[in-house]
Amino acid sequence: MKLNCRNVLMALILLVICPFNNSHAQQAESVYGDAVKAEVKMNYVYTMEEAFKKARELNKPIFFNCFADWAMPCHLMNKAVFSDREFCDYMDKHFVNLFIDVTQGENTDIAKKYDIQYFAHFLILDSDGNVLLRIVGGREKEDMKAAVSLALNPKTTLPGAEQIYQSGKRGKKETRNYLTVLNLANENKKFMEINKEYIRMLKPKEYLRKENWVTFSSTISNKESENFNYLIAHKEKFVKANGAKKVNSLIESLYYWDIMNYAMGKTPYDKMKVIELNNEIQKAGLSDTCNVCRVYPIIHLRGERKYDEMLDYLTKNASQLGVSKLYIDTSLELPDMSGETRGKIINYLNACIEAQKDDSGVVKQLKAFIYKLEHPNGIIFEKGNLAEAMAKAKKEGKLLFVDCYTIWCGPCKRMSNQVFVQEAVGAVYNKQFINVKLDMEQKDGIELNKKHPVTSYPTLLFMDGDGNIVKKIIGAQNADNLLKIASEVIKQ
């Protein structure tokens, strides 16, 4: 699912699945304030007991919204889907609708029982509590309707499709039905194994068919994937079968982080490489108004240190850049930044805050980043890759301190902007450790995750120069706790 080409990052946020982290479970009010209010029109019940009772009385399955207040995808689903009258009427007709925040108090037992590890998360249960369907991640309205409707046919439920497949009926239709529910349930390992079998059943011209879009597109994880070239070569036919939005959104998503990492200064500026990347995007037939093309000029302005022009571009194109702008705004800790430039950036960020209509999560992130800019004496993180940092740690006889984060994780940002920047923390960590920040959805982070799985964010690791974990801390910490942890590690 993608929302549209212009707002690809909003689509990524809606699709993204936030790992369960019980450190958020005691939030009494939404961490996002009024910014997440929505006119939800779902006719919910709010206890398991009432849901099971109504399900038996009405002979309907239960649609269970496994909510987490801190997970933005849950709130985005409220706004994008559960506020739509037509969709909600459909749900009332076919389901008993249940809403529980499974991160609150005793409700965490429900999360454990049903193995709810990521959000947004939806279950469809029968009246005895058996799972008919699991839907992990957000969807647009029509895609969500198509997904839940699978639970109304015994052959297309998760247990039904699995039983048919395991019985030996493995034709294209039966295999595709099973793949569909595995994909919804985020059972990636099983999905990829069976999808290899399914793709081998297809002739290349069958890749183009609408019913095969999910299975075909899942074989394209990056631009180096074999089927990416096939997609580009036959783009017009794919668009005809599946719609321009789906095809362009997939292509754009493959370029998005390459572009954003340059725009945020995470990838060192190389003018020729950036131009080559843009030429690829143009050959892929993406519109000049899509998000990656809107972000592209920022790369050159930042790389060539034309900071005044960059801030002016960000201001003028705020509405077109969407959520990408927030990520760029909170990356403006520029190398060798003069006091004058720092002041201009702070003024720009304050202007961005004034442009917001309420004290939203965006405002809180911008204020936290301003605080970080105003307090530059915190932890100094290495600029190179993980291997270089490990080599440095081994040479100097120090441990590595690794901040494992994701770009969408609110607590990660708060630690970065409010805790790591404190002078007392920096004094200890800069002296005692080699400090590294790892985006766990980027290259080094992905590789580290294979060796040392990280399922909640932030996760803080203390490692020796050979990559062995000395101590692992899960969840956000304040400055005092971080200093206490450092003291304990040093004494080990």
pLDDT, tens digit (0-9, with 9 covering 90-100), for 362-404: 888 899 899 989 988 899 999 889 999 999 999 999 999 999 9
**Which comes out higher in pLDDT, residue 127 or 417?**
127
pLDDT of residue 11: 46
Query: How far does CA 1 lie from the centroid of its chain?
Result: 13
Q: Is the pLDDT of residue 2 over 60?
A: no
pLDDT of residue 6: 34
Q: Which amino acid, 332? A: L
371 Cβ contact partners less than 8 Å away, ≥ 6 residues apart: 417, 418, 421
- Coil/strand/helix, residue 390: helix
| Extents of the domains making up the chain | 44-152, 202-242, 246-374, 386-491
pTM of the model: 0.76
For the segment 465-488, the average pLDDT, to the nearest whole number, is 95
Q: Is the pLDDT of residue 246 over 80?
A: yes
pLDDT of residue 389: 94
Q: Is the pLDDT of residue 1 over 70?
A: no
pLDDT confidence tier of residue 20, bands split at 50, 70 and 90: low
Choose the weakest-confidence range: 23-37, 225-239, 274-288, 465-479: 23-37
pLDDT of residue 29: 59
Q: Which amino acid, 475? A: G
Q: Is the pLDDT of residue 361 over 50?
A: yes
Chain segment 26-56, per-residue pLDDT in tens: 334 565 666 677 889 999 999 999 999 999 9
Please give the share of the chain, as a percent, with pLDDT higher than 90: 78
For the segment 237-257, the average pLDDT, to the nearest whole number, is 95
For the segment 63-82, the average pLDDT, to the nearest whole number, is 92
**Which comes out higher in pLDDT, residue 14 or 86?**
86
385, 444 contact by CB (below 8 A): yes
pLDDT of residue 72: 83
Q: Is the pLDDT of residue 180 over 60?
A: yes
pLDDT of residue 358: 65
> What's the rounded Cα separation, in Å, for the pair 110 and 439?
30
pLDDT of residue 364: 84
SS3 readout for 251-266: HHHHHHHHHHHHHCCC
* Residue 476: Cβ within 10 Å count: 22
44-152 and 386-491 in the same fold: yes
* Phi/psi at 280 (5° precision): -60, -45
For the segment 93-110, the average pLDDT, to the nearest whole number, is 95
In CATH, which of 3.40.30.10, 1.10.150.80, 3.40.50.300, 1.25.40.10 is domain 386-491? 3.40.30.10
Chain segment 110-140, per-residue pLDDT in tens: 999 999 988 999 999 999 999 999 999 999 9
pLDDT of residue 139: 92
Assign domain 44-152 to its CATH superfamily: Glutaredoxin (3.40.30.10)
For the segment 397-421, the average pLDDT, to the nearest whole number, is 91
For the chain, give the mean pLDDT: 91
